[in-house]
Chains A and B, each alone.
Chain A
Amino acid sequence: MIQRAPARRLPAATDSACPLSGLRGTLDNPGVAHIRFVPLAVALVIAWCGVVRAADPVTAFVGGRVIPVGRAEIPAGTVVIRGGTIVAVGPADSTPVPPDAQRIDTTGLVVMPGLVDTHSHVGGGQGGDASGPVQPDVRILDSINVRDAGFRKCRAGGLTTLNIMPGSGHLASGQTVYVKLRRVDTIDELLYRDADGRPLGGLKMANGTNSQKEPPFPGTRGKSAALVRQKFVKALAYRDKLAQAAEDPDKRPDRDLELEALVDVLEKRKIVHHHCHRADDIMTVLRLRDEFGFDVVLHHVSEAWKVAGALAKSGAACSVIVLDSPGGKIEAAEFSLVNGAALEAAGVPCALHTDDPVTDSRLFLRTAALAVRAGMSRDKAIESLTLAGARMLGLGDRIGSLDVGKDADLIVLSGDPLSVKTRVLQTFVEGRQVFDRDDPEDRLFAVGGFGASRDQKAEPCCIGPALGGLK
């Protein structure tokens, strides 16, 4: 019934150098949960694992078809990871496996980077409320339920990085957040952060029909653009005042969280993730981008096929949705499956996304396969699930491909990534296993069934996979 590797060759966890890592399963069991509250035991565990972790466990995935992304596939390859980092990728017969490595036989299987979803709504997060159409101060990270079962389903689908966005019912619905799907207790431990420790994310904006409603929301497209322009004009003035205050602190304007967020956008510290479907809405986003000079990723772009040439000239990147049918709302009425192929042909950077719950994160690979069905090349389609999305999040130097020095986010598949028969067998984030299809609990989220959408219990905080999240 289930397509599987002929034998189970993969370990339950990669951090086997920690002799207590095997306890993770035990500690999940409520029957012995009290162990967590024995401070001495916890301290010992932390100390012991911490020491061992310093030695950085090494794991080698040997013999499988390796899809590194961005360069040629390796029919029989080896991927070596040390701690949370990739340290070697190459043909199995010429890539040495370190003697201290735990060796995982991936013969007959496929190893590729963890998937990057540039547009997700997993975690029940919310953005702005009904008070107005422009709320760039609102952060989705303040509302995400990290125990939402959706995160488990994402890992089951091979996703390792998400851009979690507020909705499209506002012109600016709030700040998005880039998360790494570690198994942890709080949203703070999921975040990608910049060098200064600030959470990474963009600003969600939208035009078209979703954000049109009763005042104070706009009633037309022209009004939508005017409201956005007015706010950006204010942000420009605010930025000028901040610049003047650098010379004279007395001139410093009062802090304004909305305008601060927009200044982040104007200064290109935050990218705009812009919902747009219709060709004219796409062009309106580009017009505003050119006027105010922000960076933008165009999301959904149902009618990209109509303006692929203009998109190519603009240099903008597109994150494309793939749907089973057009419509459901007027602006998606002329959706086409050829968008991926049309953008590829025009030379436009193209990622794919789930828009979960619009499409199911567990079927993200399918999205690429349907793009191929409609004419996209296989290589570009796979890149659209990984490296292209990573680049659009500004994380292209860290994730999205199997390259030395990048994070050890990878998935092991039972076969070709574009086949309906293929299963995600295991998902690793920073070298740690976060999904194992052989684990009955994980399988529930992969396949569905009773309880598969219920919020999940907390992860044990101090053992195994969570350890990396401790500061």
Chain B
Amino acid sequence: MSLDRWRACRSPLAARMAAVVIALAAPAVAVAEVLVVRGDVVHTMAGPRITDGVVVIEDGTITAVGPAATTPLPANAKRLRGAVVTPGLVDAHSVVGLAGHLNQPQDQDQLDTAEAIQPELRALDAYNPQERLIEWLRGFGVTTMHTGHAPGALVSGQTMVVKLAGTTVEEAVLVPMAMVAVTLGDAARREGGDADAKSPGTRSKAVAMLRAELVKAQEYRRKRALADASKHPDVDLGLETMAGVLGGTVPLLVTADRAHDIASALRVAEEFGVRVVLDSAAEGYLLADRIKAAGVPVIVHPTMRRAGGGGETENLSFENAATLRAAGIPIALQSGYESYVPKTRVVLFEAGLASVHGLTFEQALAAVTIDAATIIGVADRVGSLAVGKDGDVAIYDGDPFEYTTHCTGVVIDGVVMSEEAR
């Protein structure tokens, strides 16, 4: 129902038809063209919190934010109210939509292991906007996520940024190619039967292969730029993608948990001058100064990620995000990738736990709103409640981070997606 409404609003034809209807009879039209969201507290993330504030959304865009007493409110607006209002939450890294909740081969499109390096795999071509976990996450306030190919191969493919709405990926997508996913460490190791599938079998081989790919892309990029078009190499989708990385338009999203794998990521970034966003970084707190000096942001693992003994995350700390942030590193939190039960985590909960392990309330909220939006490159559209930004809002009946609080309303592009208490 709400999906249809959202689509109707986004569709130019539907909007025109709605306008015609309004012009002819001006009845109460189902689509929320004008929305006023009022909160006892509004966390805009673009300034101080507002007590008894309102957010006005018209045609999907925020047109006013301010105290209820002084902000002019449009007539005939649909009104929502809650104890606390925040920007729609931004999940800085997920695989939902490529990975489905059933966890069966037919709904797991986040990782192809035929090759160690496949930067040409587009997230767009695998995203299922009907996946049930999308609705699940949205029910807890998430309105934007950075999703795509998963950790588990040296270069597993591309990621993208979507709104948690739309019946097709074309409707949902904000950024079709956001980053290129790289994994360093045990998870990138391959032990296939034939020689081709045995590499990388070690950490150093993995880094050698990644460097070789970047060198190849440098050559490709140089030759593609030659004045003499006859000397251009044939288009190679993978190298084309990596050339974008070298050109600085697309960062590498490097999943690394062990401190020495993080160090490898920084070493490669420096050698090739590429932008890197660190992902997970379980032992990041050991290298905070180095990460800070490299100017690399970190999308920190879910606070509740499992610290299985002996595994790469065995040294996880609930305080990792706080330690990194205190060092001056831009951080965001994520739902991450789960291979079993539960099939996804929820950034509202992950931020809640981080908020009592060294991050302040505002810092934790920023890690799943404006700071997340900044790191994934969509801060001009989402992540804060400010005039001109997308009308994405989450509403709660109490402190959003308290376990027993409910998310009572979710708005995407000015369309009320859910009013169920979750």
By a beta-carbon cutoff of 8 Å, the part of chain A in contact with chain B is 1, 3, 124, 148-150, 323-330, 332-333, 357-358, 360, 363, 366, 369-370, 372-373, 418-421, 447-455
Inter-subunit contact A449/B285 (CB<8 Å): yes
Inter-subunit contact A150/B356 (CB<8 Å): no
Chain A residues whose C-beta falls within 8 Å of the C-beta of B355 in the assembled complex: 420
**Is B376 on the interface with A (CB-CB < 8 A)?**
no
**Is B40 on the interface with A (CB-CB < 8 A)?**
no
Inter-subunit contact B342/A327 (CB<8 Å): yes
**Is B113 on the interface with A (CB-CB < 8 A)?**
no
Chain B residues whose C-beta falls within 8 Å of the C-beta of A420 in the assembled complex: 352-353, 355-356, 401-403
Find the residue from B133, B308, B356 having the highest chain A CB count within 10 A. B356
Contact among A328, A366, A369 with B343 in the assembled complex (CB-CB below 8 Å) = A328
**Is B203 on the interface with A (CB-CB < 8 A)?**
no
User: Considering the chains assembled together, what is the distance between the CA atoms of A370 and B404 in angstroms?
Assistant: 6
Inter-subunit contact B345/A450 (CB<8 Å): no
**Is B170 on the interface with A (CB-CB < 8 A)?**
no
Inter-subunit contact A372/B404 (CB<8 Å): yes
Q: Looking at the assembled complex, report how far the CB atom of A167 sits from the nearest CB atom of chain B, in whole angstroms.
A: 12
Contact among A329, A372, A454 with B341 in the assembled complex (CB-CB below 8 Å) = A329
Contact of A419 with B402 at beta-carbon distance under 8 Å, contacts A150-B309, A325-B342, A360-B304 already known: yes
> For residue A372, which residue of chain B has the nearest CB?
B404
Q: Which label, helix, strand, loop or mixed, suits the secondary structure of the A interface? A: loop
Contact of A452 with B344 at beta-carbon distance under 8 Å, contacts A330-B104, A420-B352, A420-B356 already known: no
User: Considering the chains assembled together, what is the distance between the CA atoms of A380 and B226 in angstroms?
Assistant: 73
Q: Looking at the assembled complex, report how far the CB atom of A95 sits from the nearest CB atom of chain B, in whole angstroms.
A: 30
Chain B residues whose C-beta falls within 8 Å of the C-beta of A329 in the assembled complex: 102-103, 340-341
Chain B residues whose C-beta falls within 8 Å of the C-beta of A418 in the assembled complex: 403-404
Find the residue from A325, A366, A447, A449 having the highest chain B CB count within 10 A. A325
Q: Looking at the assembled complex, report how far the CB atom of B125 sits from the nearest CB atom of chain A, in whole angstroms.
A: 22
> For residue A328, which residue of chain B has the nearest CB?
B341
Chain B residues whose C-beta falls within 8 Å of the C-beta of A363 in the assembled complex: 304, 353
Inter-subunit contact A328/B310 (CB<8 Å): no
Chain A residues whose C-beta falls within 8 Å of the C-beta of B349 in the assembled complex: 324
**Is B357 on the interface with A (CB-CB < 8 A)?**
yes
> For residue B355, which residue of chain A has the nearest CB?
A420
Inter-subunit contact B315/A450 (CB<8 Å): yes
User: Considering the chains assembled together, what is the distance between the CA atoms of A366 and B177 in angstroms?
Assistant: 37
User: Considering the chains assembled together, what is the distance between the CA atoms of A327 and B338 in angstroms?
Assistant: 11
Inter-subunit contact A324/B315 (CB<8 Å): no
Chain A residues whose C-beta falls within 8 Å of the C-beta of B286 in the assembled complex: 450
Chain B residues whose C-beta falls within 8 Å of the C-beta of A150 in the assembled complex: 309
Stretch at the interface among B27-35, B78-86, B317-325: B317-325
> For residue A374, which residue of chain B has the nearest CB?
B422
Contact of A448 with B315 at beta-carbon distance under 8 Å, contacts A148-B309, A453-B309 already known: yes
Chain A residues whose C-beta falls within 8 Å of the C-beta of B309 in the assembled complex: 124, 148-150, 453-455
Inter-subunit contact B404/A358 (CB<8 Å): no
B331-373 contact mask (Cβ, 8 Å, vs A): 1 or 0: 0000000111111111001001101111000000000000000
Q: Looking at the assembled complex, report how far the CB atom of B101 sits from the nearest CB atom of chain A, in whole angstroms.
A: 3
Chain A residues whose C-beta falls within 8 Å of the C-beta of B402 in the assembled complex: 419-420
Inter-subunit contact B285/A327 (CB<8 Å): no
Inter-subunit contact B136/A449 (CB<8 Å): no
Chain A residues whose C-beta falls within 8 Å of the C-beta of B4 in the assembled complex: none
The 4 closest A-B pairs by CB, nearest first: A327-B101, A369-B403, A328-B341, A453-B314
User: Considering the chains assembled together, what is the distance between the CA atoms of A323 and B344 in angstroms?
Assistant: 10
Instruction: State which residues 291-310 of B face A: CB under 8 Å.
Output: 304, 306-310
Chain A residues whose C-beta falls within 8 Å of the C-beta of B315 in the assembled complex: 448-453
Inter-subunit contact A453/B310 (CB<8 Å): yes
